[in-house]
Copies of this chain bind each other. A is one copy, B any other.
């Protein structure tokens, strides 16, 4: 299981904490990430300015760059932190309820402007930057596949599915994540109850056939 919070704390989260020199301010980290989220919400991807982040966090620009080497690094940390809050509570229901739940939660997350601007800004820049794409995949996207894995395990435990190997985690993940993004961000329509219901039906049909 991935530790999806790995990317949030900057640099080397080594187990042996630094012993030499003045330790880094732990409050600064949070202030910076909060400032970054706030600016993303206010001004979109272009509004995420290193200078403004520093100013709003009450921190010098150098302090910011000491922790995150670029705008991309900072955005990844902010996104990863927000995605880390995604959980799949076991409500004892069926597979369909689990899927509906994750769709709803993911759509709600994309409804937050700081989330969608950061996520799409990163994806956009990554289209011509393989290294960035790799980092996003490993630190942002892949950790979320745990939700699908977990849902599959529950369905199997409930006896809803018998051959878990038939379920392609990556495909299901791409279908859910991609469709929700497309619907919410590109088609720009709300993920209301009706839509969630129809989409869930679609996914369940694909899964159980």
Contact = CB atoms under 8 A, between A and B. Distances in A.
Interface string A111-150: 0010011001101111111100110110001000000000
B181 A182 contact: yes
A124 B188 contact: no
Contacts of A205: 205-206, 209
Contact of A181 (B178, B189, B206): B178
A127 B116 contact: yes
Contacts of A84: none
Name, among A124, A133, A136, A189, the residue most crowded by chain B CB atoms within 10 Å (CB to CB): A124
Contact of A117 (B47, B124, B201, B206): B124
Contacts of A113: 127-128
Contact of A174 (B120, B129, B171, B183): B183
Nearest to A187: B174
Chain A binding surface, main DSSP class: helix
Interface residues of A, number: 49
Contacts of A120: 120, 123-124, 127
Interface in A178-209: 178-183, 185-189, 195, 198-199, 201-203, 205-206, 209
Interface of A: 43-47, 113, 116-117, 120-121, 123-130, 133-134, 136-137, 141, 168, 170-171, 174-175, 177-183, 185-189, 195, 198-199, 201-203, 205-206, 209
